[in-house]
Chain A
């Protein structure tokens, strides 16, 4: 099983992003995904900077994938997407059907990201015809879909699933960070840069519930499929994805690397694994 670093979902200052990826070069990872997947207004790194960084990391011999925006609205966003698609070196993770269309028009192989809607083997088959060579399972998917893929008898692409981090649950035209700060989206002041792990949202009785991250809403709890790694491997998942956090990502990577190499399940540190087991995402299912 290979270990991957998913795209950074938060908005960090440029220097912090560059330092993070410089450090990540020394981590025991197999694949690194880079790029802005949430909000096109975030330009501490412009599209060309992400591409330059991706090419630089790829020159070190590691597989690097450029991740595309999940929600596209403006023409300028399509132009950025075109630059990603035509970067000439790294594969693209398509997080929207616009990206799939651009990649297929150019005959390029691609990774299907978690915000594409793949709920059955027929959709997977069609995307494979379009050039999909790896699928990152959608957030609400779990073991049942992987089993259906295998039962279909179709030649399968590589399968990847998020094993650690706050999962992206939804996207909107509205910026919830700006709303919480009583700002309009057009004059947001890029304030999400102040929340390196997103802005916590709790229920009125004080339970942590969700995380606001610009136009994206995430879980508050951390998904953790560490103890399920053997289960993932048996089911046919070949890549395990870790989402970056403000602190401690290096340690998470090392822990998962050790678990994969030794095949000894790590203790559970996160709080959620429901989607893999086919139930509510916020649930924690302890395997019998």
Chain B
């Protein structure tokens, strides 16, 4: 089972390789990827250096080109595919059919992974992408239960990658317009969710803080209360007179408990979310998952979760809370 780790810049890539990532995924410094944040991502020189470093250590680099090119912009994405191929990346991760088609025609030998943004949740949808664009792997949206993941593995359409750890999108990826509804900027088109330029914090008389996204109140916090980033799905709202996290709490996905079952199911790769996170996160999370995967490989019969692993992961989780998320039926 491959461990696929995030890197938002060259030092993070080096860190991921040092701590045991089998592959590192990155993005170009533009809107062709779903973490198009200011100051993040790779220019050509950095990517060239990163690929050389990873390959020297026997590891791989994937480039995410997983946003959807809007009107009159597909040529930019096609140019990014060419650039990735020219630099010698090991795979590209794409969602848009036009981009996948272009990559399959122009660079047939460059492996294509279907991004989580492609929203493929069934063997029929996976077959579409395999037959149409020859995908070598698909990343599953974070909506399926563990049994459903196991079932998809059995059906063996393409090798599957699942999310193991990191911030949790609770909506089907590639099908969420909450950010674009409020701000006009969407993960699908612009590679951002609830972008910072629309966020406004206000402090009230009693030290209470309010946070608005494009003028819409997402949440309010008491002075001592930890305040998270105001993505629309993690705000507190009023439903039938009760104020609560009506969609989801600020929490991270952590599937460490499920590792043996994911391995037994035949999952090809585990993905760590977080290209926007710093080196400390990449180091701690990569190191922990490497240790867990290695121990499972060497001692499959008496594998159990190490309490220290969970403590290390919890420290880096959003809101310092973790959940099994959709893998576990009670979350639904």
- Residues of chain A touching chain B, judged by Cβ–Cβ distance below 8 Å, are 70-75, 77-78, 81, 96-102, 104, 115, 117, 119-123, 125-127, 139-140, 144-145, 147-148, 151, 167, 169-176, 179-180, 184-186, 199-207, 209-210, 212, 217, 219, 274-275, 278-283
CB pair A78–B171 under 8 Å, yes or no, is no
Q: How far is the CB of A180 from chain B (nearest CB, A)?
A: 5
> Inside 8 A of A179's CB, which chain B residues have their CB?
246-247
> Per DSSP, are chain B's interface residues mostly helix, strand or loop, or mixed?
mixed
Stretch at the interface among B36-44, B233-241, B250-258: B233-241
Q: How far is the CB of B176 from chain A (nearest CB, A)?
A: 4
A-B contacts besides A71-B121, A140-B177, 5 pairs, CB < 8 Å: A117-B68, A123-B96, A199-B239, A280-B180, A280-B214
B219 on the interface (CB 8 Å rule)? yes
CB pair B171–A204 under 8 Å, yes or no, is no
Stretch at the interface among B2-10, B46-54, B82-90, B126-134: B126-134
Given contacts A117-B68, A122-B97, contact A209 B216 (CB under 8 A): yes
CA distance A101 to B133 in the complex (A): 13
> Inside 8 A of B144's CB, which chain A residues have their CB?
73, 173
CB pair B177–A119 under 8 Å, yes or no, is no
> Inside 8 A of B310's CB, which chain A residues have their CB?
none
> Inside 8 A of A122's CB, which chain B residues have their CB?
74, 96-99, 101-102
Closest B residue to A149 by CB, please name it.
B71
CB pair B98–A126 under 8 Å, yes or no, is yes
Given contacts A97-B125, A147-B71, A171-B172, contact A203 B237 (CB under 8 A): yes
CB pair B239–A140 under 8 Å, yes or no, is no
Can you pick out 5 interface pairs between chain A and chain B where the beta carbons lie within 8 Å of each other? A78-B123, A101-B128, A176-B247, A202-B237, A281-B177
CB pair B237–A204 under 8 Å, yes or no, is yes
B122 on the interface (CB 8 Å rule)? yes
> Inside 8 A of A98's CB, which chain B residues have their CB?
121-122, 124-125, 128
Contact partner of B69 (CB less than 8 A), chosen from A102, A120, A202, is: A120
B95 on the interface (CB 8 Å rule)? yes
CA distance A180 to B242 in the complex (A): 9
CB pair B219–A204 under 8 Å, yes or no, is yes
CB pair A78–B122 under 8 Å, yes or no, is yes
**A126, A185, A204, most chain B CB atoms within 10 A:** A204
CB pair A169–B181 under 8 Å, yes or no, is yes
CB pair B128–A170 under 8 Å, yes or no, is no
Closest B residue to A97 by CB, please name it.
B125
Q: How far is the CB of B211 from chain A (nearest CB, A)?
A: 11
Contact partner of A70 (CB less than 8 A), chosen from B148, B175, B330, is: B175
Closest B residue to A186 by CB, please name it.
B329
> Per DSSP, are chain A's interface residues mostly helix, strand or loop, or mixed?
mixed
> Inside 8 A of B264's CB, which chain A residues have their CB?
none
CB pair B120–A144 under 8 Å, yes or no, is no
In B176-198, which residues have CB < 8 Å from any A CB?
A: 176-178, 180-184, 186, 188-189
CA distance A71 to B172 in the complex (A): 8
CA distance A102 to B122 in the complex (A): 12
Q: How far is the CB of A81 from chain B (nearest CB, A)?
A: 8
**1/0 contact trace for B12-31 toward A, CB 8 Å?**
00000000000000000000
CB pair A102–B124 under 8 Å, yes or no, is yes
B35 on the interface (CB 8 Å rule)? no
Contact partner of B177 (CB less than 8 A), chosen from A71, A127, A170, A209, is: A170
For chain B, the count of residues having a C-beta within 8 Å of the partner chain is 73
CB pair B172–A170 under 8 Å, yes or no, is yes
Contact partner of A175 (CB less than 8 A), chosen from B118, B148, B332, is: B332
> Inside 8 A of A117's CB, which chain B residues have their CB?
68, 95-97, 117-119, 174-175, 188
CB pair A203–B71 under 8 Å, yes or no, is no
Contact partner of B143 (CB less than 8 A), chosen from A71, A167, A279, is: A71
CA distance A98 to B121 in the complex (A): 8
CB pair B217–A219 under 8 Å, yes or no, is no
> Inside 8 A of A99's CB, which chain B residues have their CB?
124
Q: How far is the CB of B322 from chain A (nearest CB, A)?
A: 17
Given contacts A72-B121, A73-B143, A281-B180, contact A174 B128 (CB under 8 A): no
> Inside 8 A of B69's CB, which chain A residues have their CB?
119-120
Q: How far is the CB of A41 from chain B (nearest CB, A)?
A: 11
CA distance A167 to B216 in the complex (A): 18
> Inside 8 A of A173's CB, which chain B residues have their CB?
142-145, 170, 172, 326, 331-332
CA distance A283 to B248 in the complex (A): 25
Given contacts A119-B70, A204-B220, contact A170 B175 (CB under 8 A): yes
Name the 5 nearest CB pairs between A and B, nearest first: A122-B98, A148-B71, A119-B68, A98-B124, A173-B143
CA distance A66 to B238 in the complex (A): 35
B307 on the interface (CB 8 Å rule)? no
CA distance A277 to B284 in the complex (A): 45
CA distance A240 to B73 in the complex (A): 27
CB pair A73–B181 under 8 Å, yes or no, is no
> Inside 8 A of B123's CB, which chain A residues have their CB?
78
CB pair A120–B68 under 8 Å, yes or no, is yes
CA distance A202 to B124 in the complex (A): 38
> Inside 8 A of B188's CB, which chain A residues have their CB?
117, 119, 140
B72 on the interface (CB 8 Å rule)? yes
Q: How far is the CB of A197 from chain B (nearest CB, A)?
A: 14
CA distance A167 to B64 in the complex (A): 29
Given contacts A126-B97, A207-B216, A280-B183, contact A145 B71 (CB under 8 A): yes
Q: How far is the CB of A127 from chain B (nearest CB, A)?
A: 7
CA distance A172 to B170 in the complex (A): 6
> Inside 8 A of A100's CB, which chain B residues have their CB?
128
> Inside 8 A of B177's CB, which chain A residues have their CB?
139-140, 167, 169-170, 281
